Homo-oligomer: A and B are copies of this chain.
Amino acid sequence: MREVFQQELQDVQDRLVEISRRVEQSITRATRAFSEGDVQLAEGVIAADAEIDELALALDDLAIDILARQSPVARDLRIVVSALRISASLERMGDIASHIAQLARLRFPDRVAPSGLRETFKRMGELDVQIAGMLVQLLETEDGDLAEQIRNEDDKIDDLHLSVFDQVLGASWDGVAAETVDATLASRYHERFADHAVSIAKKMQYLASGTWAPVDA
């Protein structure tokens, strides 16, 4: 019985890693679709989101089933509870990748990012992709240093997010309203994506320590 249980916990972890890989793929494609105005790539991200949702639901069912059958305690319980919460955040990251892809599709054949902000969004996209990759590794290895690195990268995204507003609200901004809306939404999506990664990193720290860190604002 004990061996079956350990195998089930391993299965939970494997599934989290698998979902995080899908999220990494989605954000990689979404940010490329966004910066290059590639509508086919955008369509692919939007379609793949339903698969991420299904994988997250299936993982939740498994976790609840384990709680019911195995009544885990201590660290085993923390693994299962953390998995439920991490799956919710990963599901949300998939949604956000899809939102970025939807912006790209909406503006096709134009590119979404207003010309003055292209470099900023390129950098934000790169950081999101990098964070998603770190998250896959963190879920695989439970290496606490990665949690720290994710927070650092998130700080960089927050700075870029603020710089978008500085630019849009600055005297030299001559974008039309549609460009202002796009910049506002896109910047918010890029920033929220990273926030969810930080939130997952905190959940992994809970797994290690047994204490929840305060939730992110």
For residue A4, CB closer than 8 A to chain B, the reply is no
* Copies of the chain in the assembly: 2
- Least Cβ–Cβ distance between A71 and chain B, in angstroms: 3
For residue A162, CB closer than 8 A to chain B, the reply is no
Question: Interface with B: A34-42, A124-132, A134-142, A178-186, which one?
Answer: A178-186
CB-CB contacts below 8 Å: A136-179 with B: 165, 168-169, 173, 175, 177-178
Complex CA gap A186/B116 in Å reads 24
Count of interface residues, chain A, beta-carbon cutoff 8 Å: 37
Hey, what's the 0/1 contact readout for A73-102 against B, CB within 8 Å counting as 1?
110011001001100100100010010000
Complex CA gap A128/B80 in Å reads 33
A68 & B64 in contact (Cβ 8 Å cutoff): no
Pick from A61, A175, A185 the residue with the most CB of B within 10 Å: A185
Residues of B within 8 A of A56 (CB): 215
A-B contact pairs, 18 of them (CB 8 A): A49-B217, A57-B212, A57-B214, A60-B212, A64-B77, A67-B67, A68-B77, A84-B85, A88-B88, A95-B217, A165-B181, A168-B177, A169-B177, A169-B178, A180-B181, A181-B184, A184-B184, A188-B188
